Amino acid sequence: MNSNLLIEQCEKKAQNLFNQIDEIALYNQNKVLNAFRENRISAMHFQPSNGYGYDDIGRDTLNRLFATVFHTESAIVSPLIANGTHALTTALFGVLRPGDLMVSISDKPYDTLDEVINGNGIGSLADFNVKYQQVDMIDGEFDVQSIFTVLKLKPKLVFMQRSKGYLWRDALSIEKIKKITEIIKQTSPNTIVMVDNCYGEFVEKIEPTDVGVDVIVGSLTKNPGGGIAPTGGYIAGKSDIITQISYRLTAPSLGLEVGSYFASYLPFYQGLFLAPSTVKNAIKGNILAEYVFNELNFITMPSVGKMPTDIIVSVKFNRAEELVKFCQIVQKCSPIDSYVTPEPWDMPGYNHQVVMAAGTFVQGASLELTADGTVREPFVAYMQGGLTYEHCKLALIEIVHELQK
Ligand SMILES: *Cc1c(COP(=O)(O)O)cnc(C)c1O
């Protein structure tokens, strides 16, 4: 079929979900706008600072702004956090002490945390005698029975990953996070519940911290950076927990008193303001992709017609060549480095070759339209982001055209 026609038909089918997405975006935009008004944001908050950064009003106010949006007592938002992995590492080391038990209940945490948790002799949590256990999910649902069992050990921390990451499962809905958090808090009230919130922000009307989660962690080159924050991460939650974590970010007792940034804070503020709308565009792109790949007889996660709960759509291809070609087309449709052809390569830390399309303004920013996959069965590609819906649509038109050849 003509690719333009196919896309138009898919768009019609997606209309119902699109309307729901619009409503969520309006709700979240209002939430963010009100947070700006409440914190009386003005141009002075964008000013750079230097040296120790005492009384850095831009930094302090940005922290408060995120805390307002996520309905938490406190937050750390900082360009000094290198990426999502660094934010998560800082949060984990901030609260865990030797002998403590950490339990992940949503399968294995994101790949980059493997060495943070279990690495040997590199300053991992294991090196500091923090114990780790894992409860895998069963068909995308929490294994409540096993979670009850492990809660008897009174873990210091229970960890969940909201997004699907590189796993073949749906992202956790807030409803699911709410139910399991209630169980954890009833069974072991002192256990800290932490959620890796990467890719989840503004996908629903509420966040994990609205349903009893103690602390959430994320990256500013993903959803809450709105596509323009140049770097950084955030950690938001209860103030005693955030204080502990701030001592790990800088130094014990110094916490958030120090830390300067000799560039404008403007993109962090503006990025947060744009985030609900940018996330909306990315999700609409995901939904369109679900319908399109369904027409082409590929299986996707989420499956066609289902409301996404993060900004990633996974596609199962039949052959390695299809996966590679798909990533190459996404690259070709990128505003940056469109002339580059990505090839599978042996990326450090992976056992199989990986192929990646990342023609992004901010290096590696996956709120921008990107795609990647590991070249091994079952040949799954992960397509995420999209600053504008139109960009996603144009890329999909080209993908349909090329894959049908
Ligand atoms: C991206 C991501 C991370 C790590 O973030 P980086 O910025 O790549 O270090 C952690 N967890 C999840 C679920 C992610 O999507």
The string of pLDDT tens digits covering residues 85-100 is 999 999 999 999 999 9
C-alpha triplet 396, 399, 401: angle, nearest 5°? 110
Q: Are strands 101-104 and 74-78 parallel, antiparallel or unpaired?
A: unpaired
Ligand 1: atom nearest CA of 113 is 10
**Is the torsion defined by CA of 122, 128, 130, 131 positive or negative?**
positive
The whole-angstrom separation of Cα 240 and Cα 69 is: 19
pLDDT of 52 above 90 = yes
109 lines ligand 1 (CB under 6 A): no
**Cβ–Cβ under 8 Å, residues 298 and 373:** no
Ligand 1: atom nearest CA of 221 is 7
112 lines ligand 1 (CB under 6 A): yes
Q: Taking the complete model, does pTM exceed 0.85, yes or no?
A: yes
Alpha carbon nearest to ligand 1 atom 3, residue: 84
Ligand 1 geometric centre to CA of 222 (Å): 9
pLDDT given for residue 349 in this prediction:
63
- Per-residue burial over 279-303, b if 16 or more Cβ lie within 10 Å, else e, is bbbbbbbbbbbbbbbbbeebbbbbe
Alpha carbon nearest to ligand 1 atom 6, residue: 84
Ligand 1 geometric centre to CA of 349 (Å): 15
Average pLDDT over residues 214-240: 98
90 lines ligand 1 (CB under 6 A): no
161 lines ligand 1 (CB under 6 A): yes
The whole-angstrom separation of Cα 250 and Cα 252 is: 7
Ligand 1: atom nearest CA of 163 is 13
Ligand 1 geometric centre to CA of 374 (Å): 16
Average pLDDT over residues 29-41: 98
The whole-angstrom separation of Cα 307 and Cα 283 is: 9
The whole-angstrom separation of Cα 253 and Cα 53 is: 15
What's the pLDDT band for 1 if we cut at 50, 70, 90? Answer: confident
Starting at the edge strand found earlier in the chain, the sheet holding 101-104 runs 74-78, 233-237, 215-219, 192-196, 157-161, 101-104, 131-134
The whole-angstrom separation of Cα 102 and Cα 132 is: 5
167 vs 319, higher pLDDT: 319
